[in-house]
Structure 1
Amino acid sequence: MRVFVTGATGFIGRRVVHQLLQRHHHVTALVRHPAAATNLRALGVHLVPGDVTRPGGLADTMRGSDWLLHLANRYSLYEPDEQVYQTVNVQGNRNVMTAALEAGVRKVVHVSSIVAFGASPDQPLREDSRVGQHATAYARTKHAGDEVVWEHARQGLKVVMVYPGAVLGPGDPKDTGIWIRQLVRGQQPARVFEAGGFTFVHVDDVAQAIVRAAEREGNAGERYLIGREYLTNGEFVSLVSELSGVPRPKLAFPDWLAHAGAAVCGTVARMTRTPPVLGLSRETALHLAQGFRFGSEKAERELGLTYTPVREALRADIATFHVTREG
């Protein structure tokens, strides 16, 4: 198939492109800076300059594509200006889906996030779970962006939506990868929100799910939750400690103290226009405290997925950076 990919240079997107090429699909990638994506060009990917926040010309670059795999989004738990989430995750989706309709794309796989469900009253989460209150601006705009995609589906666009859990794997530049590096390097002074937790998934498994969702016939309108293995934050920190050989932080803050400290760090960050200390902010605290849990029976049954153990995903990530310890 002729596949148009947004977000192809990202943590998940790079793996998606590799899987598409391995399956002999023809890939065109929308990239903001083609000169910085020469690795994709070397693989045989056709690069087109563009930005999901700038709709001009999107339909023309997409024309002739069979599938659109839409991964581009703004993922972070803290931004000095939260408007960026709205611009990319909501308006960006509108621009891309409108272009897909105009270009006559046959099928769209939109990559959302499990946080789009918010604090759903249906636990563990399912594909048909109700949406609850969202802890962060990122989560709110992921849900709002999903609604934009479904609006276009009602106009005739054939859409499949994929909801990954907490993604792990080597080379993660985002919040989860940063948290792991801080733990291993002894830069987290205390354990926090140990009772909260997440359903984790290896980045390669997410990429496989996206490609299989595209290749499966007759699944327009379907949703797939991607991930299976749940760990509390306390269990996660213990596993990182075991695999890295670095002791867990000795201190364990009660939730009220962790929330208070995170609020102070976030306020200072906004006043100084600098990243929050240790990545802590009100948004991070709410995310860690809320967490999410779900199963993956539908994706396993319909897409034939099997999952890499969290232990192996963490081991592969930890192996990519050097750990220094004194003594």
Structure 2
Amino acid sequence: MKIFITGSTGFIGKYTTELLAKSNHKLKLLIRKTSKSSFTNNQNIILVQGDLTDKNSLLKGMEGCDSVINIAGHYTFWEPDKSIYSKVNIDGTRNVMECAIECKIKKVVHISTAGVFGKPAEEPFNEKSSVGPVQYSEYFRTKYEGELIAWGLFKTKKLPLVVIYPACVLGAGDTKASGRYLRDLINKKLPATVFKNQIFSFVYVKDVAQAIVNALEKDDNIGEKYLISNCRYTWGEINKMISEISGVSLPIFSMPDSITMMNAYLLTGIANVIKKPPLWGMAIDQMKVMKVGFNVDGSKAERELGIKYTPIDFALKEAIDSLKN
């Protein structure tokens, strides 16, 4: 199979690309000018310079391919210019899907996030649950809007779409929100823990990569959705696991929810003025997500994609070991 992949240099993308490279698929990787790929010495891999906003680079990358895996997205919880979220997650998604139709791609596996479901009334929620009324961050909102465009093209233009929805992804090599939280916690840079009773679903990064590959290779699953996670913990339970694995004691103080949100608004306001990320990672969008949480039922991926979920303490240990080394 010849596969065009966006986001191959990111956290999930690296693991997915490694899996596919081992299976001797021929890969074309979209690489931004500012990114470096670790897949430069593989005869089955071609690098294509460009990004989601450049349709010519997308068309060049998809030329001669059977399938597309769209992992790229703008994933942060604060930016000095919020328009970047729409530019990448909405307009970029539209570009990928339209180019896939033009290039007669046979299957597009699009990587979304469990966060696009908002807060469904049903807990744990599944692929058939109604989307909640609010997406709690610009990242989730724009991923949701971009996905609506993709499903619209599925209905009107027969886009051969499959969508993957990972929960909170953990593992070695994460430099984004979850990875920074873990790093700051074990380096004793957080003055307090927050939202200790809120439930969140987590998943090991290699399980997500395997789900993407299995969804790509599975027959007769066009139009399907797959949530990826089988565990749910409170932040208090996760923090305790992190402490036990790392041997680092937790902050003594657990900040009340109301004070956490007040501080988040204050620190985000300061960040917006000085154009630097909020102190302690306390962006209001990130705190809203942590406060609301999400509780995912990923059993469909077990049944249909054959995913065998890895215990989350293994994912945490791998992530902590990589940070220490």
CA distance, structure 1, for counterparts of residue 276 and residue 60 of structure 2: 39
Contact between 1:34 and 1:47, CA under 8 Å: does it hold in 2? no
Contact between 2:117 and 2:130, CA under 8 Å: does it hold in 1? yes
Q: What residue in structure 2 maps to residue 71 of structure 1? A: 71
SS at match of 2:55: coil
SS at match of 1:320: helix
Contact between 1:228 and 1:296, CA under 8 Å: does it hold in 2? yes
TM-score w.r.t. length of structure 1: 0.96
Q: What stretches of structure 2 of length at least 5 have no aligned partner?
A: none
Matched, 1:208 2:210: yes
Q: What residue in structure 2 maps to residue 153 of structure 1? A: 154
CA distance, structure 2, for counterparts of residue 236 and residue 61 of structure 1: 40
Give me the CA root mean square deviation: 1.2
Contact between 2:268 and 2:284, CA under 8 Å: does it hold in 1? yes
- Deviation of 1:57 (Å): 4.2
In the comparison of the two structures, how many residue pairs are matched?
322
Matched, 1:115 2:115: yes
CA distance, structure 1, for counterparts of residue 6 and residue 35 of structure 2: 16
Q: What residue in structure 1 maps to residue 316 of structure 2? A: 314
Deviations 1:62-109 (A, max 9, x none): 121111000010011111211111000000000111000000101000
Contact between 1:63 and 1:104, CA under 8 Å: does it hold in 2? no
- Deviation of 1:191 (Å): 1.3
Classify 1:35/1:149 alpha carbon distance in 2 versus 1 (closer, same or farther; 3 Å).
closer
Q: What residue in structure 2 maps to residue 41 of structure 1? A: 40
Q: What residue in structure 1 maps to residue 260 of structure 2? A: 258
The correspondence of residues 235-274 of structure 1 with structure 2, limited to 5 A, is 235-274=237-276
Amino acid at match of 2:166: P
- Deviation of 1:61 (Å): 2.6
Classify 1:281/1:60 alpha carbon distance in 2 versus 1 (closer, same or farther; 3 Å).
closer
Deviations 1:266-325 (A, max 9, x none): 0000011111101102111101101101122110001000011110000011111239xx
Q: What residue in structure 2 maps to residue 51 of structure 1? A: 51
Deviations 1:242-264 (A, max 9, x none): 11111111001110001001111
Amino acid at match of 2:42: L
Q: Which stretches of structure 1, 4 residues or more, deviate above 6 A after TM superposition? A: none
Matched, 1:168 2:170: yes
Q: What residue in structure 1 maps to residue 299 of structure 2? A: 297
Q: What residue in structure 2 maps to residue 186 of structure 1? A: 188
TM-score w.r.t. length of structure 2: 0.97
Matched, 1:281 2:283: yes
SS at match of 2:3: strand
- Deviation of 1:55 (Å): 1.6
Matched, 1:139 2:140: yes
Q: What residue in structure 2 maps to residue 197 of structure 1? A: 199
The answer to which of 39-48 and 224-233 deviates more is 39-48
CA distance, structure 1, for counterparts of residue 109 and residue 100 of structure 2: 11
CA distance, structure 2, for counterparts of residue 261 and residue 15 of structure 1: 36
The answer to which of 66-75 and 147-156 deviates more is 147-156
Amino acid at match of 2:267: C
Amino acid at match of 2:46: H
Q: What residue in structure 2 maps to residue 223 of structure 1? A: 225
Contact between 2:6 and 2:71, CA under 8 Å: does it hold in 1? yes
CA distance, structure 1, for counterparts of residue 118 and residue 46 of structure 2: 37
Q: What residue in structure 2 maps to residue 91 of structure 1? A: 91
Contact between 2:49 and 2:57, CA under 8 Å: does it hold in 1? no
CA distance, structure 1, for counterparts of residue 20 and residue 323 of structure 2: 28
Q: What stretches of structure 1 of length at least 5 have no aligned partner?
A: none
- Deviation of 1:35 (Å): 7.4
SS at match of 2:308: coil
CA distance, structure 1, for counterparts of residue 278 and residue 110 of structure 2: 31
Classify 1:290/1:55 alpha carbon distance in 2 versus 1 (closer, same or farther; 3 Å).
same
Contact between 1:264 and 1:281, CA under 8 Å: does it hold in 2? no
Contact between 1:34 and 1:48, CA under 8 Å: does it hold in 2? no
SS at match of 1:79: coil
CA distance, structure 1, for counterparts of residue 120 and residue 95 of structure 2: 28
Contact between 2:9 and 2:35, CA under 8 Å: does it hold in 1? no
